[in-house]
Homo-oligomer: A and B are copies of this chain.
Amino acid sequence: MKRVPIGVSARHIHLSVEHAKMLFGAGYALTVFKALSQPGQFAAVETVDLIGPKGKFERTRILGPLRGKSQVEISRTDAYTLGLNPPLRESGKIEGTPGLIVRGPVGEVELQRGVIVAARHIHFHTSEALAWGIQHNEKLSVEVQGERSLIFNEVIAKVSDRYALDFHIDTDEANAAGVKTGDWARIL
């Protein structure tokens, strides 16, 4: 049985080095609040405000380390609140996506793009993917038990030596399935 732990992603932002500088000042380094499931990734102590045409979210968590491009990951529910219509995308694929205004303690950035609803996916270490016969970018179906039991189709397998086993869904998906971080799902 192929069991995977669930990791629920609340809305968050990844910042580029350039944008971090504009929001927090030159030479500012993020402080680790909590390590995440993927090696080297962390939730930072620092937060920013996300401002859309219709609404805003204050104190949105930054995930580190800094990246090449800034990216905002929100749920569809969040998108309605902000007044945006971001597409469902894999992380990093931000071509043609909407932007928003990011406000930090020392400045603001108007992102031209980078807002996505993240496509659900499972991170596999290469060894696990091999053992289970799972290919990188394969689409999987994953079952969750309980009073809101459901089967997620279109779950993308992401395989790398740098990954640890984790099934990433957003808050809408977690609420629809009645699950939280640390619960378990089963690949069908």
Q: Taking the nearest CB of chain B, how far is it from the CB of A23, in angstroms?
A: 26
Residues of B within 8 A of A173 (CB): 176
- When all copies of this chain in the complex are counted, the total is 2
Cβ of B88 and Cβ of A171 under 8 Å apart?
no
Most-contacted residue by chain B among A88, A169, A176 (CB, 10 A)? A176
Point out the residues of chain B lying under 8 angstroms from A178, CB to CB. Answer: 76, 88
A37 on the B face (CB < 8 A): no
Q: Say yes or no for A75: interface residue by CB 8 A criterion.
A: yes
* Interfacial chain B residues near A175, Cβ < 8 Å: 75-77, 172, 176
Contact with B along A93-125 (1 / 0, CB 8 A): 000000000000000000000000001100000
Q: Distance in Å from the Cβ of A86 to the closest Cβ of chain B? A: 12
A-B contact pairs, 6 of them (CB 8 A): A119-B147, A149-B153, A170-B176, A172-B176, A173-B176, A176-B176
By a beta-carbon cutoff of 8 Å, the part of chain A in contact with chain B is 75-77, 88, 119-120, 147-154, 169-173, 175-178
